[in-house]
Chain A
Amino acid sequence: MIDVTSLLVAGIEFGSLPQQLLNGILIGGVYALIALGYTMVYGVLRLINFAHGEVYMLGAYTALFVSWIIYGRAQDPVTVVWYALPLMLLSAMTVCALIGIVLERFAYRPMRNQPRIASLITAIGLSLLLQYGGQLFLPVSPAPNISGKVNPYRDNLTFYLTQPAPSLVRAADALKPEMDKAKAALDEQLKLEKDEFNLSDTGLALRKEFFERQSAYNKAQGEAQSSAISITLPKGQLIMFTVTLILMAILRHIVLFTKSGRAMRAVSHDFDSAALMGINVNKIVTLTFVLGSALAGAGAMMSATFISGVKIDTFFGLLPGVKAFVAAVLGGIGNIPGAVLGGILMGVAESLVVWAGYDQYKDAVAFLILIVVLLFKPSGLLGSNKVEKV
C-alpha cells in the first residue's frame, strides 16, 4: 500500500525526521512503562492481563481527581503548587497498585486452576466492565483534560541542528524593508485619521498593503525557519521521560537485587517448582501486579499531565494498552528489558508513520508490527525460543 511515489506525493520533509524520532522515543517511554506490567504478569502467570489498559485509565482518573482536590474543578489557569505533581504521581501509582491487587485477588486467582482461555476471557470481560461500567460513574462528557491546567512546564526547549538555508533567510530579509516602509506609512496616516475604527479610503488602502507585506514576510520567514532542522522538546515531556527512566531503574533494582525480585524470577521460570521450593507464590503474584500496575499508574498520570491536549475518558487505556502489549510481544513477552526496548521501538515506529504523512493510520501500525513479529520471530527480539515439550 505504501510505495515510494505515494510517499513523495505525501510531501515528506526529511528535516522533520529528528523531531519525529524524538517524539517517538518520548511517547515510547510511556508504552514501555505499560508494557512492563503486561510482560511481568505474563511472565509469572502466562496471562495477558487485558485489563491492564484499564488500570492505566483509572490511574489517569486518579490524577484528575487529585488535581481537582488541589486546584478545584474550574478550567482557569491556577497558581502552581509545588507538591501537586508529586502527589498526583504517587496517588495514581498507589491507587493503581490497589486496583491491581483487587483484580488479581478476586478475578484472576479463582481462575488459576481453570484453562488459560478462561482467565483470558475473564481478563477481557474485566477490561470491558471497567470501560463501560466506568462510564456510569466517572466524568466522561465533556472529557476532562488536565494537561493545560496543572502542567507548569509547558514551554519548549528548541535546539537547532542546522542553520536555516542562507538563500531563504536573505529572501526573507529582503522583504523586511518593504514591510517596515508600509508600516511607517500606515502609522503616519493613522495619526491623521480621526477615528481609528473608521478609516478613510487612504487609510484602508495603506492598512491593506501593510497586512499583505507583513504576511509575505512572515511566510518567507517561516520557510527560512523550517529549512533549519530543529528539535522542539516540551519540558514536561522531558520530565516525563526522566521519571520513566528513574522508575525503570528502581524496577530493575527490585527484580535483580532483592529477595522478592529473585523469587519473582523463580516463579516466572517455573511456577510449580517455585511453589515447591517454599516461595509464597501468591505473595509474589500480588507483588507483580502491584509493581506492574503502579508503573501503569505513573505512565497514566504523566501522559495525562505532560502531553498537551490529552482528554481523559474510560477508553483512555484502550489503545495505549494494546500498543504496549504489542511492544511487550515485540521485545519478547516475559522479558523485562525487552518490554522497554519494544516500547521505545513502538513509539518510534508510530512517529515514523506520522512523519510519512499517514497520521490516520498511526493506530494501525501497532497491529501490523504485531503480525510481522509473530510471523517472523514469535519469541520477540529479546525473548528466548522455547521448544514445547512433547
Chain B
Amino acid sequence: MKPLLSMKGATIRFGGLVAVKEVTFDIRPGDLFGLIGPNGAGKTTCFNLITGMYQVSSGEILFGEDCINGARKLPPNKICELGIARTFQNIRLFGALSALENVVIGGFLRSRSSLFSALTLMPPAIKDTRALEAKAMEYLKVMDLEEDAHTRARDLPYGKQRRLEIARAMATNPKLILLDEPAAGMNPQESEQLSRTVRRIRDDYGKTVLLIEHDMRFVMNLCERIVVLDHGEEIAFGGPDDIRNNPKVIEAYLGEPV
C-alpha cells in the first residue's frame, strides 16, 4: 500500500540544537499511528514540520505524492488544504468566538464563495455559511459538544476545549489528522471516551490519525503502530507489544511502566 505520509530523514536544527534528527517513517492510509517519547523528544516539533509551521533543515516530508516540506516548502494553510489538520498541545482555539463558529472556521477552507458575495450577502455566501454551520453542528455532535455550540470557546472547560479542537480539525475535512496530546488533563473516564471517539474518527469517517500522547495506556490501547522518539532520534518502531518490550524504549522512559 502506498504511504499517505512519509517522513524521509526529516531534520531541523535550531541554532546548535538538532531538535529532530533524520526521522523516517511511513503512515499508511487508515493508520492509527502513535508518536511517543519522553519530554523534549521532538514530537511536537515533528508536528510542526508536518504542518509547515517550521521548515526542515534537511530531508523531506511527502504527503501522498506531493512534497510538502523539503525541496518544496508549503505554507501551513496549503498543507491544510491538501488534507492535513492538527490540534495544538497548548490549546489554540479562537477564544472570543463560539464553539460553533470555531468549527465553521475549520470548514471555511472548503468554501468556494467569493469575498464579494460575502460582502454583499449574496446567495452563494449565505448557502455556504448555512452548509458549514450544519456540517459544524454535526462535528460538534460527534465530539459531544452540541449543547455548547453557542458558548464562547474560552469559557468552555478544559476537556471540552480539547474536544472542540478535534472538531475544528475534523471540519477541515482532512485525510490525515494530527492530535497533539488529546487526552492531556483528562480523567480516566474522559480519556476512555476520547479513545472511542478517536477510533470512530478513523472507522466511521475514514481519517488517518497520527497522535502524540503521554498517557501510555491510551496509546497502547488505541494505536496500531507506534514510533518512539528520544532526543530527536527515532529509537523504536512497531506495534504496541514490540514497543512495550523494547529495551531501548524502557531505558528512555527510565522505568516508567510501559
Q: A residues within 8 Å of B by Cβ? A: 387, 390
Query: Could you say which residues of chain B place their CB within 8 Å of the CB of A387?
Result: 14, 54
Contact in complex: B14, A390 (CB < 8 Å)? no
Bound together, the chains give a CA A390 to CA B88 distance in angstroms of 8
Query: Could you say which residues of chain A place their CB within 8 Å of the CB of B54?
Result: 387, 390
- Ordered by A's residue number, 7 sampled pairs between the chains whose C-beta atoms are within 8 Å are A387-B14, A387-B54, A390-B44, A390-B48, A390-B53, A390-B54, A390-B88
For B180, give the chain A residue with the smallest CB separation. Answer: A390
Bound together, the chains give a CA A2 to CA B113 distance in angstroms of 43
Question: Within residues 15 to 50 of chain B, which ones have a CB less than 8 A from any CB in chain A?
Answer: 44, 48
Query: Could you say which residues of chain A place their CB within 8 Å of the CB of B14?
Result: 387
Bound together, the chains give a CA A387 to CA B88 distance in angstroms of 17
- Lowest 4 CB-CB distances: which A-B pairs, in order? A390-B53, A390-B48, A387-B14, A390-B88
Task: Tell me, rounded to whole Å, the shortest Cβ–Cβ distance linking B148 to chain A.
Answer: 25
For A388, give the chain B residue with the smallest CB separation. Answer: B53
Bound together, the chains give a CA A195 to CA B35 distance in angstroms of 110
Q: B residues within 8 Å of A by Cβ? A: 14, 44, 48, 53-54, 88
Bound together, the chains give a CA A179 to CA B173 distance in angstroms of 94
For B92, give the chain A residue with the smallest CB separation. Answer: A390
Task: Tell me, rounded to whole Å, the shortest Cβ–Cβ distance linking B65 to chain A.
Answer: 27
Task: Tell me, rounded to whole Å, the shortest Cβ–Cβ distance linking B124 to chain A.
Answer: 34
For A389, give the chain B residue with the smallest CB separation. Answer: B90
Query: Could you say which residues of chain A place their CB within 8 Å of the CB of B53?
Result: 390
Bound together, the chains give a CA A387 to CA B48 distance in angstroms of 12
Task: Tell me, rounded to whole Å, the shortest Cβ–Cβ distance linking A118 to chain B.
Answer: 15
Task: Tell me, rounded to whole Å, the shortest Cβ–Cβ distance linking A115 to chain B.
Answer: 11
Bound together, the chains give a CA A390 to CA B178 distance in angstroms of 14
Task: Tell me, rounded to whole Å, the shortest Cβ–Cβ distance linking A354 to chain B.
Answer: 41
Query: Could you say which residues of chain B place their CB within 8 Å of the CB of A390?
Result: 44, 48, 53-54, 88
Bound together, the chains give a CA A390 to CA B14 distance in angstroms of 14
For B86, give the chain A residue with the smallest CB separation. Answer: A390
Bound together, the chains give a CA A390 to CA B48 distance in angstroms of 8
Bound together, the chains give a CA A390 to CA B54 distance in angstroms of 9
Task: Tell me, rounded to whole Å, the shortest Cβ–Cβ distance linking A321 to chain B.
Answer: 33
Task: Tell me, rounded to whole Å, the shortest Cβ–Cβ distance linking B66 to chain A.
Answer: 22
Task: Tell me, rounded to whole Å, the shortest Cβ–Cβ distance linking B144 to chain A.
Answer: 27
Query: Could you say which residues of chain A place their CB within 8 Å of the CB of B88?
Result: 390
Bound together, the chains give a CA A387 to CA B44 distance in angstroms of 14
For B14, give the chain A residue with the smallest CB separation. Answer: A387
Query: Could you say which residues of chain A place their CB within 8 Å of the CB of B44?
Result: 390
Bound together, the chains give a CA A390 to CA B47 distance in angstroms of 10
Bound together, the chains give a CA A390 to CA B91 distance in angstroms of 10
For B47, give the chain A residue with the smallest CB separation. Answer: A390
Bound together, the chains give a CA A390 to CA B50 distance in angstroms of 13
Bound together, the chains give a CA A387 to CA B54 distance in angstroms of 9
Task: Tell me, rounded to whole Å, the shortest Cβ–Cβ distance linking B238 to chain A.
Answer: 29
Task: Tell me, rounded to whole Å, the shortest Cβ–Cβ distance linking B73 to chain A.
Answer: 15
Bound together, the chains give a CA A229 to CA B48 distance in angstroms of 59
Task: Tell me, rounded to whole Å, the shortest Cβ–Cβ distance linking A59 to chain B.
Answer: 40
Bound together, the chains give a CA A390 to CA B87 distance in angstroms of 11
Bound together, the chains give a CA A311 to CA B23 distance in angstroms of 65
Task: Tell me, rounded to whole Å, the shortest Cβ–Cβ distance linking A388 to chain B.
Answer: 9
Task: Tell me, rounded to whole Å, the shortest Cβ–Cβ distance linking A269 to chain B.
Answer: 15
Bound together, the chains give a CA A111 to CA B88 distance in angstroms of 29
Task: Tell me, rounded to whole Å, the shortest Cβ–Cβ distance linking B86 to chain A.
Answer: 10
Task: Tell me, rounded to whole Å, the shortest Cβ–Cβ distance linking B167 to chain A.
Answer: 20
Task: Tell me, rounded to whole Å, the shortest Cβ–Cβ distance linking B190 to chain A.
Answer: 25
Task: Tell me, rounded to whole Å, the shortest Cβ–Cβ distance linking A114 to chain B.
Answer: 15
Task: Tell me, rounded to whole Å, the shortest Cβ–Cβ distance linking B75 to chain A.
Answer: 14
Task: Tell me, rounded to whole Å, the shortest Cβ–Cβ distance linking B57 to chain A.
Answer: 12
For B76, give the chain A residue with the smallest CB separation. Answer: A390
For B53, give the chain A residue with the smallest CB separation. Answer: A390
For A384, give the chain B residue with the smallest CB separation. Answer: B15
Bound together, the chains give a CA A21 to CA B48 distance in angstroms of 47
Bound together, the chains give a CA A349 to CA B28 distance in angstroms of 58
Task: Tell me, rounded to whole Å, the shortest Cβ–Cβ distance linking B108 to chain A.
Answer: 21
Task: Tell me, rounded to whole Å, the shortest Cβ–Cβ distance linking B93 to chain A.
Answer: 14
Task: Tell me, rounded to whole Å, the shortest Cβ–Cβ distance linking B191 to chain A.
Answer: 24
Query: Could you say which residues of chain A place their CB within 8 Å of the CB of B48?
Result: 390
Task: Tell me, rounded to whole Å, the shortest Cβ–Cβ distance linking B223 to chain A.
Answer: 23
For B89, give the chain A residue with the smallest CB separation. Answer: A390
